[in-house]
Amino acid sequence: MGNADRAAPAAAPRRTPAPFRRVLLVGFMGSGKSTVGAHLASRLGWPFLDFDEEIERRAGLSVAEIFRTRGEAAFRALESEVASELLRAEPAVLASGGGWAAREGRLEGLGPETLSVWLRVSASAALERAAGDPQARPLLQGSDAEARATRLVNERERYYQRARLHLDGENASPDALAETILRHLERTNPDVAGR
């Protein structure tokens, strides 16, 4: 039997992954989720939605005021409610608050249409960035802020790691991070190429 007669093995069907319809940024306080998210959204021409901003709008109070007057548990309840609604928007770029992803089931529960991105930052960089706006982050205030930030980063990293894409949020600029996410999206979303 000549080579020509031999049936070529059937090529495995190539499955192109479905395009993403949403990008969700997660990571510790000060990792740049909101800044990178806003850059990315404007490059994509997609709406940008920020969990904390929506929480503040609904409560008519700042995050710090919610913590102070209603307590963290009330903030977390509002955060869950806002997140489940915002995570239905598409297309959209979303910035979560630093604590939202740090719970069992949160990132694992996202469907295939959501690209989750972890912007990784150390506790010391987070504290340094938070120092510019000391009122904004109640969990990074007080004399034990350093110890608390280190503990929270350590506790939360195992959850953040469940994001699909991990990026260095400490040394890269917001523009460069948005660009990396865009290039990543291009593989699944051909319409994104060239933006």
Instruction: Report the interface residues with ligand S3P, using CB under 6 A.
Output: 29, 33, 52, 63, 97-99, 137-139
Give the distance from CA 70 to its chain's centroid.
Answer: 26
Residue with Cβ nearer ligand S3P (95 or 110): 95
CB of 70 to ligand S3P, least distance (A): 13
Q: What is the DSSP string of the chain?
A: --GGGSPPPPPPPP-PPPPP-EEEEE-STTS-HHHHHHHHHHHHT--EEEHHHHHHHHHTS-HHHHHHHH-HHHHHHHHHHHHHHHTT-SSEEEE--TTTTSSTTTTTTS-TTEEEEEEE--HHHHHHHHTTSTTT-GGG-STTHHHHHHHHHHHHHHHHTTSSEEEETTTS-HHHHHHHHHHHHHTT-GGGTT-
Residue with Cβ nearer ligand S3P (67 or 91): 67
CB of 33 to ligand S3P, least distance (A): 6
CB of 54 to ligand S3P, least distance (A): 11
CB of 53 to ligand S3P, least distance (A): 9
CB of 108 to ligand S3P, least distance (A): 19
Residue with Cβ nearer ligand S3P (101 or 110): 101
Residue with Cβ nearer ligand S3P (97 or 192): 97
Residue with Cβ nearer ligand S3P (91 or 138): 138
